[in-house]
Structures are given as C-alpha cells and as structure tokens.
C-alpha cells in the first residue's frame, strides 16, 4: 500500500516541514490544507511512496503526487 505525506516550505527560511506519513491520501490532503490555511508556507505539496512497486530502488523514497499551493 502507498504512503502519503504533506510537505511544506516555510516562507521565511525555506525549511522543509514534513507531515506524518499516512496510508490515506485524504488525511494527507487535510494536513496540506491545514498548512495552507496557517499562512506560514510558501509551497505545499503531497508526496507519495509506492514502496518500490515501479522499481526496487525506489522503496522508501517519496515522490511528488500533487501540488496544493
């Protein structure tokens, strides 16, 4: 099963802040929406880990799924 997490880039420091990995994309979308509403993030994206389904070397790596802001 795929894992999803929200990731945001802070406006002032450009530091990346990760949300908690979840098995449900809806929960990651809610985390991303909360990041957008806080007003502290310049960009917010949702990342997906397919657990190496496409290639064994990609297991455990998160890739872009959606751009929220």
Q: What is the model's pLDDT at position 2? A: 87
Q: What is the pLDDT of residues 20-68, one digit of tens each?
A: 999 999 999 999 999 999 999 999 999 999 887 888 888 889 999 999 9
What phi and psi values does residue 66 have, to the nearest 5 degrees?
A: -150, 150
The answer to whether 21 touches 2, Cβ cutoff 8 Å, is: no
Check pLDDT > 80 for residue 11.
yes
Q: What is the model's pLDDT at position 66? A: 94
User: Rounded to an integer, what distance in angstroms lies between the CA atom of residue 41 and that of residue 49?
Assistant: 22
Cα dist from 64 to 12, 24, 61, whole Å: 23, 15, 10
- How many residues does the structure list for the chain? 69
Pick from 13, 29, 25: nearest CA to 49: 25
Q: What is the model's pLDDT at position 68? A: 95
Q: What is the model's pLDDT at position 53? A: 80
């Amino acid at each position: 099963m795929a894992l999803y997490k929200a990731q945001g880039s802070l406006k002032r420091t450009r530091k990346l802040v990760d949300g908690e990995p979840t098995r449900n994309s809806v929960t990651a979308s809610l985390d991303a929406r909360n990041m957008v509403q806080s007003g502290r993030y310049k960009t917010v994206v949702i990342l997906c880990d397919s657990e190496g389904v496409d290639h064994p070397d990609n297991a455990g790596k998160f890739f872009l799924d959606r751009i929220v802001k």
